[in-house]
Amino acid sequence: MTEPLVERMRSFGTTIFAEMTSLAVRTGAINLGQGFPDQGGPDGMLERAVEAIRAGENQYPPGPGVPELRRAVAEQRRDRYGLAYDPDGEVLVTVGATEAIAAAILALAGPGDEVVVFEPYYDSYAAMIALAGAVRRPVTLRPEGGRFAFDPDELRAAITPRTRLVLVNSPHNPVGTVFTRAELESIAEVCRDHDLTAVTDEVYEYLTFDGVEHVPLASLEGMRERTVAISSAGKTFSATGWKVGWITAPAAHVRAVQTVKQFLTYTSSAPYQRAVAHALTEELPWVEGLRTSLQAKRDRLVAGLEAAGFTVHRPQGTYFVQADIRPLGFADGLELARALPEKAGVVAVPTQVFYDHAEAGAPFLRFAFCKRDPVIDEAVDRLAALR
């Protein structure tokens, strides 16, 4: 019998998150691999979801999203960034950011088109580009000067007549870089010069540290009309299982993405949309408390990893720390990640799986710090056995 999986998807297999989570379950290891918090979101948001369910809001909501949430998203972009979007035509609610990414790529890139991505990248990007029949053109983030950064000349060299999209993730998963205004301007210049659309994954927009500012690419000159911006409630409100995301973009881009989205999921949970609308308007002080807490957790994990012998790159945002394994005598992050649950009772994710050029990420493991302090403390105590 012939292989049932289509050729363009055969290189993907089981995700690294499924593999590492399975190892955690089998070994009883502490899971610092996958980026989900072990504490819930704001009580007011949770209560709104319960109220909506009990009130009978359990059928299909409007395809673009409930009006209340679309208005809240538009107000958030206006109040936080000075960006004006019409909630009736320039906001689209999606099943998390992952569906937004999928629908945007499938709508805006086709067979033979090229999509520039900054590697390492969230693994969904590669899969969606493959499903579209498009081609990845990676630009590598390298750990120079204490943070992972790209070379603007390398970005310019990645552009060809086939380039259609530039996919930008800031704050960046998995390396924790928050692109500076100067870095974003170099991306914007390339987009303007070559008439490209930018798709921006901004799900960690609130989770930046040490006074570092998240700047939306759409806020730069000439970029609002060519940017599809994506965010979600999952990371902002510690509700990753709710899968409520959204897109803000010019009306023509929203129509294009919705054309695809309607045949993927059509719509998403009405009660959760109501609750997230409440959270965006009423629970932002809670989010600031989360950000402060996560910064302290980051520092806690960084100190513990350094004490265990890793060289650590302190992130400017997100949930994740990059730890260089070479000072401990290891060279291959994938090999170590598969051995770590048995060796130390901790699960991490090998960063190399997020690269096209895997050798660039081979020395690194990604650890998540969105956990309770006792969990972090126990994990670093176990990792001390590696010395």
Asked if residue 321 and residue 229 are part of one domain, the reply reads no
Which domain, by its residues, includes 19? 7-41+285-386
pLDDT digits 0-9 by tens, 22-66: 998 999 999 999 888 998 999 999 999 999 999 999 999 999 999
What pLDDT is attached to residue 250?
99
Question: Which whole number is the average pLDDT over 315-325?
Answer: 98
pLDDT digits 0-9 by tens, 184-218: 999 999 999 999 999 999 999 999 999 999 999 99
**Does a structural domain hold residue 304?**
yes
**Does a structural domain hold residue 2?**
no
pLDDT digits 0-9 by tens, 220-231: 999 999 999 999
Last residue of a domain, one of 281, 316, 345: 281
Asked if residue 210 and residue 150 are part of one domain, the reply reads yes
Last residue of a domain, one of 257, 281, 305: 281
**Does a structural domain hold residue 81?**
yes
In this prediction the pTM is 0.96
**Does a structural domain hold residue 269?**
yes
Residue 116: φ, ψ to 5°: -80, 130
User: What's the CATH code of the domain at 118?
Assistant: 3.40.640.10
Asked if residue 266 and residue 237 are part of one domain, the reply reads yes
Q: Closest by alpha carbon to 166, among 144, 140, 143, 188?
A: 188
Q: How far apart are the C-alpha atoms of 277 and 48, rounded to whole Å?
A: 9
Alpha-helical (H) ranges within 82-202 are: 96-108, 123-131, 152-158, 181-194
Asked if residue 247 and residue 166 are part of one domain, the reply reads yes
Tell me how crowded residue 100 is: count the other CB atoms within 10 A of its CB. 26
Contacts of 299 (CB under 8 A, 6+ apart): none
* Structural domain count of the chain: 2
Asked if residue 198 and residue 320 are part of one domain, the reply reads no
Asked if residue 251 and residue 214 are part of one domain, the reply reads yes
**Does a structural domain hold residue 1?**
no
Asked if residue 316 and residue 262 are part of one domain, the reply reads no
Asked if residue 257 and residue 178 are part of one domain, the reply reads yes
Q: How far apart are the C-alpha atoms of 313 and 365, rounded to whole Å?
A: 11
In sequence order, what E strands does the chain have? Answer: 30-31, 91-94, 114-119, 135-140, 142-144, 147-149, 163-169, 197-201, 227-232, 245-248, 311-313, 320-324, 346-347, 349-350, 364-368
Last residue of a domain, one of 223, 249, 281: 281
Asked if residue 12 and residue 54 are part of one domain, the reply reads no
